[in-house]
Structure 1
Amino acid sequence: MIISAAGLAIAATAVQSCNQDGDNNYYYYYPNAIVTVKPIENPDDSLTFYMQLDDSTTLVAENLKKSPFGDKEVRALTSIEETEATVPGYDKVVHVYAIDSILTKKTEPFTDDKTVDSLFGNDPVEMIGDWMTVVEDGYITLRVRVATGGYGTMHRLTLLTGVNPDDPYEVEFRHKREENGISGPYVLGDALVAFSLDSLPDTQGENVKLTLRWKSFDGNERTAQFDYCTRMSSPSKMKIESGATFLTNVK
């Protein structure tokens, strides 16, 4: 998805610059889109990857010949501007001012409570319903908020499938805080993570309810629903929160 300039203020983080001309207009380095960066199976000298903006819009970067992420397919935050150029077979050509990958993972199957608690934890988390929380192009991308403390504390983020035998489209978010022996004081931190939904049954073009559940800071279970259709978009309608910085120590 892409947002207008008015939405840039809530992006909250700058991304890696791709600008080579020394432009000091830092406004351009704040993200205005989330894309899927996709390597081309049989690349040529002029085009080795493209970006999927949403379920029907493909982008080519005029100023990047190679993907910054090699041959990996990843979700990414980017700052882009549409140009008037065209490339046959693709919808738009854009100038990429900055781009940085989002932690992109596969889902994990639910086994039993004891096992998943041990492997993936059950620490509280909150979901942030801004423009970065979205279901599109076969991924669910989430902006999450955790309590973090101590230098080097890692946060393992996991999405479980198969948590409801009666509903294959119900998934559960798990958070495991891995302390390094130094605890507190705890502060709030945000992170972005994307999960491929290719393990869910194909909806065959039908819209279903994708239910996301998680343990919140108050200890209660919360849920949010998305209108989900395989490889189609479903923007978030969750409440927007504020008041935290972004974390990089997530896995």
Structure 2
Amino acid sequence: MKTSRILLGVISAFAVCSFFASCETDESKNETIYPNAIVTIKPINDGAGFNVWVDDKVQGPASNITKSPYGKKEVRAIANIRQEKDEKGMNKIYINWMDSIRTKNAIMPELKAMDWKKYGEDRLEIINGFGTVVEDGYLTLRYSTAITNPKAKRDMNLIVQHSEKEPYKLVLAYNAHGDNKGRFASGLIAFRLSEIDKIARKNGKKDVTLQLHWKSYQGDKQASFKYHVRSDTE
């Protein structure tokens, strides 16, 4: 199950275990039912194995799952995990459950060719809390927006509007395809910042400040994020 769709009220995985259920006894239920991390699932050997990236200090293979559940694709996921050590003291990650987040690349179209009607100018809110984070080469966003039909088509893109004056400007474009009224619902989406990495490396930067712009229900908004450039090219 992916959280790519918008879900009424709260994200489904905040209340249910999926993929790798370890919904244990009542004593441990409250500890495992809610997500305690946002991770990157990094496949190895075409998905025959995988590493779990939790943060710069905590990462390693899963101790209770061998094969990547997402095949060859690297994805972000919400999860309930605990850190373990093997007999050699190496990190391993025990996964109670995890649920993939829709993961896609940020794009950098030519500014002169920007078709805002295509990309969309519908409104949404970015939630400043669990789910919104910049790490491991990704901008992961928790958002909410008004909808009538949870199954209706909708598109979201992160556009890199690079310029000499604003080299790390990002615009979140949302196209609800007409379904932008009704109840508020929330969701998660993750964008790989490969283009930002390329620009930063070209400028000799390892740490940059991202400027995110979006259209909210209160008008145009922006927020700044400190971003550490990902060193690999994935």
TM-score by length of 1: 0.75
Give 1:148's aligned residue.
147
Contact 2:200–2:208 under 8 Å retained in 1: no
Give 2:183's aligned residue.
187
**1:126-137 paired onto structure 2 within 5 Å:** 126-137=125-136
Q: Which runs of 4+ in 1 moved over 4 A?
A: 112-115
Q: Can you list the C-alpha shifts for 1:122-149, whole angstroms capped at 9, x where unaligned?
A: 0001110112111111111000111111
The offset of 1:31, in angstroms, is: 1.0
Letter in 2 for 1:40: I
Q: 1:161 to 1:120 in 2, by over 3 A?
A: same
What secondary structure sits across from 2:60 in the alignment? strand
Give 1:212's aligned residue.
212
Q: Can you list the C-alpha shifts for 1:197-231, whole angstroms capped at 9, x where unaligned?
A: 0111135454322100100112x211000122202
Aligned residues: 212
Q: 1:192 to 1:86 in 2, by over 3 A?
A: farther
Contact 1:75–1:101 under 8 Å retained in 2: yes
Contact 1:213–1:224 under 8 Å retained in 2: yes
What secondary structure sits across from 1:140 in the alignment? strand
Distance in 2 (alpha carbons) for counterparts of 1:98 and 1:168: 38
TM-score by length of 2: 0.80
Letter in 2 for 1:39: P
Contact 1:82–1:93 under 8 Å retained in 2: yes
Cα RMSD (Å): 2.6
Q: 1:164 to 1:124 in 2, by over 3 A?
A: farther
Distance in 1 (alpha carbons) for counterparts of 2:87 and 2:153: 43
Q: Can you list the C-alpha shifts for 1:154-180, whole angstroms capped at 9, x where unaligned?
A: 22111001254521201000111024x
Distance in 2 (alpha carbons) for counterparts of 1:49 and 1:168: 34
Which blocks of at least 5 consecutive residues in structure 2 are unaligned? 1-12
The offset of 1:152, in angstroms, is: 2.6
Distance in 1 (alpha carbons) for counterparts of 2:194 and 2:88: 29
Q: 1:70 to 1:85 in 2, by over 3 A?
A: same
2:169 is equivalent to residue 170 of structure 1: yes
Q: 1:32 to 1:178 in 2, by over 3 A?
A: same
What secondary structure sits across from 1:97 in the alignment? strand
Contact 1:36–1:76 under 8 Å retained in 2: yes
Give 2:3's aligned residue.
none
What secondary structure sits across from 1:202 in the alignment? helix
Q: Of 199, 202, 225, which residue of structure 1 is paired with 2:200? A: 202
Contact 2:122–2:180 under 8 Å retained in 1: no
Q: 1:168 to 1:65 in 2, by over 3 A?
A: same
Distance in 2 (alpha carbons) for counterparts of 1:83 and 1:210: 34
